[in-house]
A and B are shown apart, each in its own frame.
Chain A
Amino acid sequence: MSQHDEHDCGCNEYRQVSRRNFMRASGSMAIAAAMPGWLPRVAFADSHQSDRDVIVSVFLRGGVDSLSLCVPFNEKPYYNLRPTIAIPPPDANSSDKATALDDNFGFPTDMTSLMNAYDSGDLLVVHACGLENPTRSHFEAMHFMEVGEGNPGSLFTGWLGRHLQSTAPTLASGVMRAVGIGYGMQRTLVGGPETLAISDLADFGLDGDSRSEKDRMQALALMYAPYADPLKTAAGNTLQTIDLLQRIDFAGYRPKGKAKYPDTDFGYAMKTTAALVKADVGLEAVAIDLDGWDTHEEQGPANGYMSSLMRDLSRTLAAFHKDLWASNRSNVATMCMTEFGRNVFENGSRGTDHGHGSLMLAMGGSVAGGRVLTQWPGLQRNQLYDGQDLQITIDYRDVINEVLSKRAGNTTPAELFPDKRFAPKEWGVIA
């Protein structure tokens, strides 16, 4: 900034002296020695499987209508309040009818790709779950959910970032503990060490002309090698991650178990995630978004807009399940969450407006799945939140806390969710 630079221009002894001393201290020897080995040779020789689960956090952005995604088919109010968009019960004579998960809940047609994972006991639905804050603003609710706070405060790191910060890496020489797939880092992961935002794992590198990329990486490595932290470490990790990812053959990746990922952004992100998990490079966490659940109009949970979103979700998760399980990599815990649910009643545009309670999905070899876990609050008017929404009877943080403490080595729940009003409960999410 100007003041300092201009100062340097007038009387720059300070800066020059300190710079000279710094260079002398680091020394040209150190630079020469740092160079050849500095770009890493980690990866496969060092490959390592941890007994911890890799955590995959999927944020379903926009506010998922949980009553369409997991239908409470014994609730009369559900059918009364949704004359045009309710999913018929499993015993209905309709091609749109739900497929029963138990005596009370069912999946609509476009979620049934997940029946195999559900029946194998690897998929758990946690219903009437969510963020206990009254806000109906997407941005606020997403913010609270991702930082892990029920109420406004000054936290700005994410729960998954803090988890990584408070646990030792599974692979000491790893350069990439976590990745946020998308443009810009998800708040969930903010604060995590060795964590990068990457829009496409198969195409991570320096922007610009690819023909000069190696030369530019080499130049950056030279420039940053003798520099002070935190810049030196940040640059080193970034360059090493580029190098690492470019040596993984994403293009040639063949899923196992005849898994077929849908040809969608989400399908692609999960497929490349599977490839990265199997490369055994010390990956501990991934954050992925699936956007578009803000269904105010023409929701179409049976044959329309929302059903195509659910098809993407369920087919992708089913492929991920098949692929990993066939590769003996069921030690991956995937959690799907959303900022809030939607009103119990439909609006005038055959859609639903912002509500409160929603649901979570948890999938993994250690998950006590094959059931709908819920403290069902009911949908009669007097049972609704604010007279219009599904109540929350399980705090979403309970689910995360149980998974991270039992399956990801987290021993400090108070750091994970530093909220005095939150006392974690165990609901048996993990077997």
Chain B
Amino acid sequence: MGPTVGDYTHIGSLGYDAWLEEQLDYTRLDDSALEDALLSSLPTLGMTAARLRRDYANNPFIPIFELWVATLFRALYSPRQLFERMSIFWSDHFSIDIFGDQMEYLKPVDEREVARAGALGKFPAMLAASAHSPAMLVYLTNDTNEKNHPNENYARELMELHTMGADNGYTEADVKEVARCFSGWTWNDPYRGANTGQVGTFRFSKHTHDNGTKKVLGKTIPAGGGANDGERVIAILANRSETADFIATKMLRWLHGYEPSNKLVRKVSKAYQRTDGDISTMARTALRARQLASATPKLKRPLHLIVSSLRALGATVEDPGEILGHLATAGHLPFTWTPPNGYPDTSQWWSSLIISRWDYAAAIADGKSVALDPAIDDPAGGATKIINRLDTMLLHGRMTPATRSALDEFLGRRKSRVRVREAIGLVVSAPEFQEY
């Protein structure tokens, strides 16, 4: 989520492609210090849904808050930067609104067991995990999809948002048939008599499952399949070339640029088809230096802006609540996007709230919520020296002439520590820092 000064040295000596391999082989990057610290101060991170519900019935906000803080701290401090970046991608792909009914104890588990468990693993496995996730079943109302009362909500989004893409090779009849296959896929709901220990786990209800013959995308699913009908659908969808194309395109938009070339989409889609949806292989294909040469700038989303600036500045976050407040003002508090399509990844959407970025930048520069190394705001030397230091640190030599002359004028002869801090805020506010 944006390099630190140390990352630069490290990548410089290792070489970019070797660094990419290191990031892809993420289990060998030791994040235990971070994870231990998080688990000990944010105990809800490791809890089951039943435990979260039992222990936090009167404080449902605590698991939500702890998940926000963990998301921020992992993005900030984890050595597994690519993994974190992909976790956010999948969390958006299988988006669930944490303010929804009962989500305070279901969504934290979903985040852990779907997006984070499979971020660089196999896509079909993650798809299956999501289909069994009580949070998803409740969010897309499949928990009330029954033989005699069909509900197509999940079936539709499964095809439109999770696998094949809108209007891409399936019909309304397929949606209805998929809904029949998933009838009875529900969960142990405390309001429908689940016993306390099992609350929040997947449950197949064979009495409400439609056991007739179904036909999905031309494939017959014979009668009597029970819970296996849904599993069959997941396998069918994961194997479609439309799914490979859709996931490849979306991943490239995330990692590479808003409009990836058809050639590159084909390449990444082939990687999916060749490896049964291995996300790591797809990411490698998208991110090799050779491919990255054609990448075009994208607008950082607010979380990315915040994390990249704090990493570049080597800042210590003293009050995560304050950073979360900035995310909320910028419209990017994690897991609070209400529709199932996830936070947008477009420049048009995020540029309209630009003042929230400037306000965040001013706040970190005045040092109330984060601690900065005193060398950073040292006013000694001429304006050029200060500007060069900020350019290297935050923009890696990419400062535009316009920003340079604006800073020069701003610093003028008033080079107090306060003024330099304000200049840091301006660099974080600069248009070239909004992009990556």
Are the C-beta atoms of A223 and B431 separated by less than 8 Å?
yes
Stretch at the interface among B29-37, B221-229, B335-343: B335-343
- Is the C-beta of B208 less than 8 angstroms from some C-beta in chain A? no
Complex formed: what's the CA distance from A62 to B341 in Å?
26
CB under 8 Å from chain A, chain B span 1-48: 1-3, 7-8, 11-12, 15-16, 19-20
Complex formed: what's the CA distance from A231 to B153 in Å?
37
Given contacts A1-B1, A28-B401, A156-B339, contact A230 B308 (CB under 8 A): no
Question: In the complex, what residues of B have CB within 8 A of residue A225's CB?
Answer: 402
As a 0/1 sequence over residues 175 to 210 of chain B, the CB contacts with chain A under 8 angstroms (1 = contact) are: 000000000000000000000000000000000000
Stretch at the interface among A6-14, A91-99, A324-332, A338-346: A6-14
Are the C-beta atoms of A8 and B362 separated by less than 8 Å?
no
Indicate which residue in B297, B340, B422, B426 contacts A154 across the interface (CB closer than 8 Å).
B340
Question: In the complex, what residues of A have CB within 8 A of residue B255's CB?
Answer: 3
Are the C-beta atoms of B410 and A215 separated by less than 8 Å?
yes
Question: In the complex, what residues of B have CB within 8 A of residue A7's CB?
Answer: 16, 289, 292-293, 295
The residue in chain A whose Cβ has the minimal distance to the Cβ of B331 is: A184
Q: How large is the interface on B (under 10, 10 to 19, 20 to 34, 35 or more residues)?
A: 35 or more
CB under 8 Å from chain A, chain B span 415-434: 418-419, 422, 425-426, 429-432, 434
Given contacts A5-B3, A10-B289, A19-B400, contact A219 B153 (CB under 8 A): no
- Is the C-beta of A127 less than 8 angstroms from some C-beta in chain B? no
Are the C-beta atoms of B341 and A4 separated by less than 8 Å?
no
Chain B CB count within 10 A is highest, among A4, A137, A230, A232, for A4
**Shortest Cβ distance from A198 into chain B, in angstroms?**
9
Complex formed: what's the CA distance from A212 to B401 in Å?
22
Are the C-beta atoms of A11 and B289 separated by less than 8 Å?
yes
- Is the C-beta of B220 less than 8 angstroms from some C-beta in chain A? no
Question: In the complex, what residues of A have CB within 8 A of residue B405's CB?
Answer: 222
Indicate which residue in A1, A154, A223 contacts B339 across the interface (CB closer than 8 Å).
A154
Chain B CB count within 10 A is highest, among A8, A183, A196, A232, for A8
The residue in chain B whose Cβ has the minimal distance to the Cβ of A235 is: B354
- Is the C-beta of A207 less than 8 angstroms from some C-beta in chain B? yes
Question: In the complex, what residues of A have CB within 8 A of residue B85's CB?
Answer: 1-3
Are the C-beta atoms of A196 and B402 separated by less than 8 Å?
no
- Is the C-beta of A162 less than 8 angstroms from some C-beta in chain B? no
Question: In the complex, what residues of B have CB within 8 A of residue A31's CB?
Answer: 402
Complex formed: what's the CA distance from A15 to B293 in Å?
9
**Shortest Cβ distance from B1 into chain A, in angstroms?**
6
Are the C-beta atoms of A143 and B338 separated by less than 8 Å?
yes
- Is the C-beta of A351 less than 8 angstroms from some C-beta in chain B? no
**Shortest Cβ distance from B223 into chain A, in angstroms?**
31
Chain B CB count within 10 A is highest, among A6, A195, A222, for A6
Chain B CB count within 10 A is highest, among A7, A209, A219, for A219
As a 0/1 sequence over residues 72 to 87 of chain B, the CB contacts with chain A under 8 angstroms (1 = contact) are: 0000000001100100
Indicate which residue in B153, B308, B402, B432 contacts A222 across the interface (CB closer than 8 Å).
B402
Interface SS majority for chain A: helix
Question: In the complex, what residues of A have CB within 8 A of residue B340's CB?
Answer: 152, 154
Question: In the complex, what residues of A have CB within 8 A of residue B363's CB?
Answer: 207-208
Work out how many contacts link A and B, with CB atoms closer than 8 A.
185
Are the C-beta atoms of B436 and A1 separated by less than 8 Å?
yes
The residue in chain B whose Cβ has the minimal distance to the Cβ of A232 is: B431
Complex formed: what's the CA distance from A184 to B264 in Å?
38
Are the C-beta atoms of B354 and A2 separated by less than 8 Å?
no
- Is the C-beta of B406 less than 8 angstroms from some C-beta in chain A? yes
Complex formed: what's the CA distance from A12 to B398 in Å?
10
Complex formed: what's the CA distance from A239 to B412 in Å?
22
Given contacts A154-B341, A231-B354, contact A219 B289 (CB under 8 A): no
Other contacts beyond A3-B20, A12-B397, A234-B351: 20, CB < 8 A? A3-B287, A4-B295, A5-B2, A7-B295, A9-B3, A9-B12, A11-B293, A139-B97, A139-B99, A154-B339, A156-B339, A156-B344, A184-B331, A185-B331, A207-B359, A207-B362, A208-B363, A216-B362, A216-B426, A218-B410
Give 29 pairs: A residue, B residue, CB < 8 Å, sorted on A: A1-B2, A2-B3, A4-B297, A8-B396, A8-B398, A9-B396, A10-B16, A11-B289, A12-B396, A23-B400, A23-B401, A139-B100, A156-B339, A184-B331, A196-B355, A197-B353, A208-B359, A209-B418, A212-B419, A219-B406, A219-B409, A219-B410, A220-B406, A223-B403, A223-B431, A226-B402, A231-B347, A233-B351, A234-B351
Residues of A at the B interface (CB closer than 8 Å) are 1-12, 14-16, 19, 23, 28, 31, 137, 139-140, 143, 152-156, 183-185, 195-197, 206-209, 212, 215-216, 218-220, 222-227, 230-235, 238
Q: Which 3 A-B pairs have the closest CB atoms?
A: A208-B362, A222-B406, A207-B359
